[in-house]
Amino acid sequence: QQQVKQSPQSLIVQKGGISIINCAYENTAFDYFPWYQQFPGKGPALLIAIRPDVSEKKEGRFTISFNKSAKQFSLHIMDSQPGDSATYFCAASLLTGANNLFFGTGTRLTVIP
């Protein structure tokens, strides 16, 4: 069973536009929700993360919106740039105990100049 569902599978955005990627999770015990960014030939790297006690977290052009009641969270990339072109993964885990990360299937973002 897929613990974290992610959409869309791919996304094409014009430079300067807003990129939005959505995720939904199953386990209400999850208490840590990171987004990872992966460039070709590289391993995923942490981009931004949120805990369920807040509804939004912003770091520069990247914002996570979190809806605990709907068990959904999303990544918004404002003023998207060609350098943002990468694959983005949402994930969820517990902070204590079994802290393995459950990943979504990924979104390939292409920002057109």
User: Residue numbers of the site for another protein (CB under 8 A)?
Assistant: 32, 34, 36, 41-46, 49, 89, 93, 95-96, 98-106
Measured from the CB atom, is 11 or 101 closer to another protein? Answer: 101
What's the CA angle centered on 69, arms 65 and 73, to 5 degrees?
25
Measured from the CB atom, is 11 or 81 closer to another protein? Answer: 11
Least spacing, CB of residue 102 vs another protein, in Å: 7
Q: What does DSSP assign to residue 32?
A: B
CA dist 83 and 51 (Å) reads: 27
Measured from the CB atom, is 89 or 111 closer to another protein? Answer: 89
Least spacing, CB of residue 113 vs another protein, in Å: 26
Least spacing, CB of residue 96 vs another protein, in Å: 7
Least spacing, CB of residue 67 vs another protein, in Å: 21
Q: How far is CA 10 from CA 37, 43, 106, in A?
A: 14, 19, 8
Measured from the CB atom, is 19 or 93 closer to another protein? Answer: 93
- For the purposes of burial, counting CB atoms within 10 Å of the CB of 73, is it exposed (0-12), middle (13-18) or buried (19 or more)? buried
